[in-house]
Amino acid sequence: MRAHEIMSRGIVTIRPEAPIADAIELMLKHHISGLPVVDSTGSLVGVLCESDFVRRTEIGTGHERNRLLAMLLGTERLAGEFLKEHGRRVEQVMTRQPVTINEHAPLEEVADLMERRHLNHVPVMRNDRIAGIITRSDFLSAVAGPLSRASSYSGDDNQVRRSILAALARVPWHPVGLNVSVKDGAVVLRGAVKGENAHRAAIVACENVPGVRGVTDRLCLQSTHPDPEDDYGGGDFVSLQMEPSMLDDEPL
């Protein structure tokens, strides 16, 4: 997927010379956490964020610096803090030179950028104009689509089983001595895993295979032993790595 496929369009913007009271009213009215700031030519010059209002003298959260710390920080840093805490116009409070992304950027690149820079939103650009904005809630909507379209049981247990084996074969934490059986889309998963995360991940990998209706968890940690009644089909237990395959049960 690309950035333009999930971005919010028809975005609300504000001019840099506008009073911050107007900006706050817009943000509250439209339930947005980031307000792009554009100049008279339509060029993006900044973004006003909720975080820009965390330190404000109106609510008593302005910085209190002792003399020594003030000397260490320097006058430029202190002047910048004063602007943020006392500014009355958008241009005095906004975050300048905001991080942006091209509308054709892969969604993986957008996610990496937002995660790495701890961003709640990122403006999406078309040439030198803002075309939209991506927020974390846009990712929620993007994830919801594929989940709602998840395929139902296909009626082919063998295909479901092969898909599970293929999915687990691609990951380094797959269970040892994997034993998978499927009946009417219901999966029974046996084997040994090295830790709790690998345990949970194996279940999730199965649940994400199209056609799986449910997973019965018979996995055990490698430091423990399986219940005697599970005994992997009733045969003699030799080794999880060396477990012989059954007619409908191939080892990974």
pLDDT in tens, 114-168: 999 999 999 999 988 999 999 998 999 888 877 766 556 667 899 999 999 999 9
Distance, in Å, from the CA atom of 98 to the CA atom of 117, rounded to the nearest integer, reads: 11
Q: Are residues 12 and 112 in the same domain?
A: yes
219's CB contacts (< 8 A; 6+ apart) are 175, 189, 190, 191, 192, 193, 199, 202, 203
pLDDT at 65: 82
pLDDT at residue 62 in the model: 82
Q: Which residues pair with 89 in a beta bridge?
A: 19
How many structural domains comprise the chain?
2
Query: Do 52 and 12 belong together in one domain?
Result: yes
This prediction has a pTM of 0.65
Host domain of residue 219: 157-234
Give the Cα separation of 139 and 83 in Å (integer).
33
Final residue of a structural domain among 122, 146, 170: 146
Query: What's phi and psi for 47, nearest 5 deg?
Result: -140, 135
Amino acid residing at 186: A
Tokens of 51: 């975080």
Residue 49: strand pairing partners: 34
- Domain-embedded: residue 71: yes
